[in-house]
Chain A
Amino acid sequence: MTSWLNGEWPWYVAGPAIGLLVPALAIAGNKAFGISSSLSHLCAAIAPGKIEYFRYDWRRAGLWNLVFLTGVLGGGFLAAHTGTVHSVAISDATKATLAQMGIHNFSGVAPQEIFTWHSLLTARGLILIVFGGFLVGFGTAYAAGCTSGHAISGLANFQLPSLIAVIGFFAGGLAASFFILPFVIGKL
């Protein structure tokens, strides 16, 4: 019982577990599973300015999103502080690809050569963490959804906009993985 709860979950357990959040949120309050709208709600709460997009009742529209997001923070904490410590078991092919770029430390969930405070102000850190984060926020707002809202609940609801968005996700992701990352990590 505890062994499967503590180690790395197989895909056929993790996928359905994530998928079940869609009906769970629908049953709880007719809510659509989606994370990125929380970013808009936070902007509306913190700094709406004179921007029409942020001038709405964020408490009414999205307080539940923010409560959910607080849970995500807690869930990450809980998972990291229980269970066994192990490296992410990526394939040898991926290790070779990343080693070619210049990543050699495969411990932890993100490469410690980049995703640390120490590396934040290097060219790699600025591009991957600061600029990457900006693109995540801008892109999800423009596309009106992220992986959870489009790729999971949108596709499950058979929405054409979500299929278009997912095609966009992969176009951008492939471009970054094949062209931008090898340059940024390898050359900068």
Chain B
Amino acid sequence: MTDQASLRFEGCGEEAADASRVRPGFWPVYLLLGIVFGFVLYRSEVLSWFRIQEMFHFQSFRMYGIIGSAVVTAAVSLSLLKRMKLKSVSGELISLPPKALGSGIRYLAGGAIFGLGWALTGACPGPLVALIGGGVSVMAVALVSALLGTWVYGWLRPRLPH
């Protein structure tokens, strides 16, 4: 990858801009996987504000167990898939390109800003949506705020360090 290309490799859309369009036949697959994720978020109580406070106060192993075992499961299965050089059902070689590091400041600063919001709302973006589905309807306001936050980032992006 040239420097020029890595500089352009920044936006959320930019990364996937050359991805092939998902054929409508695959929509039910993504819908179903999304339902599974939302269901698990609820049953595991990962979407609970109470559980998030418990995690940040180090008062239970639970959330660390969930995130840790999710990472191990994903890492093992992903490296197996790569080693087998499998193609996805839609026909591409499974690759998952890494994000460009840059100076790294965006990950630390952006991460810390998100972390503040995570503890305040008690929800990251997935749980935010699952909570709305689960009946905590006021979270729709938090979701609209989150959209506004993302929009403001896009607006300020040329002036932020990356």
**Residues of A participating in the B interface, judged by any CB pair closer than 8 Å:** 5, 7-9, 11-30, 32-33, 35-44, 46-47, 49, 51-54, 56-64, 67-80, 83, 88, 90-91, 93-94, 97-98, 106, 108-111, 115-117, 120, 125, 127-148, 150-162, 164-178, 180-181, 184
Q: Chain A interface secondary structure, helix, strand, loop or mixed?
A: helix
Q: What residue of chain A has the Cβ atom nearest to residue B126's Cβ?
A: A35
Q: How far is the CA of A31 from the CA of B11 in the complex (A)?
A: 16
CA distance A140 to B59 in the complex (A): 26
Query: Which residues of chain B are within 8 angstroms of A178 by Cβ–Cβ distance?
Result: 56-57
- CB-based contact B113/A172 at 8 Å: yes
Asked whether, in the complex, the Cβ of B114 is within 8 Å of the Cβ of A169, the reply is yes
Whether A79 contacts B43 by the Cβ 8 Å rule is: yes
Interface pair A36/B47, CB less than 8 Å apart: no
Extra inter-chain contacts (5) besides given A61-B15, A135-B149, A156-B74, CB under 8 Å = A80-B134, A148-B126, A156-B72, A165-B108, A168-B108
A71 and B35 form a contact (CB under 8 A): yes
Number of A-B contacts (CB under 8 A): 561
Whether a CB of chain A sits under 8 angstroms from the CB of B106 is yes
Residues of B within 8 A of A142 (CB): 106, 109-110, 113-114, 153, 160
* A42 pairs with B147, CB closer than 8 A: yes
* CB < 8 Å neighbour of A43 from B44, B68, B90, B150: B150
Question: A131's closest neighbor in chain B, by CB?
Answer: B120
Given contacts A60-B19, A117-B138, contact A75 B133 (CB under 8 A): yes
A residues less than 8 Å from B31 (CB atoms):
67-68, 70-71, 74
Q: By the criterion CB–CB under 8 Å, are A139 and B116 in contact?
A: yes
Residues of chain B within 8 A (CB-CB) of A125 are 138
Residues of chain B lying within 8 A (CB to CB) of residue A28: 26, 29-30, 33, 88-90
Q: Which residues of the partner chain B approach A129 to less than 8 Å between Cβ atoms?
A: 121, 138-139, 141-142, 145
A residues in contact with B46, CB < 8 Å: 14, 18
- In the complex where A76-B41, A109-B45 touch, is A15 in contact with B78 (Cβ < 8 A)? no
**Complex alpha-carbon distance, A12 and B110, angstroms:** 30
Residues of A within 8 A of B27 (CB): 64, 67
In the complex, the answer to whether A133 meets B117 with C-beta atoms within 8 Å is: yes
Cα-based distance from A143 to B44 in the complex (angstroms): 26
Look across to chain A and name the residue whose beta carbon is closest to the beta carbon of B135.
Answer: A80
A130-B145 in contact given A148-B126, A164-B107 (Cβ < 8 Å): yes
CB atoms of A151 and B67 under 8 A apart: yes
Give chain B residues whose Cβ lies under 8 Å from the Cβ of A136. Answer: 114, 117-118, 121, 123-125, 128, 142, 145-146, 149
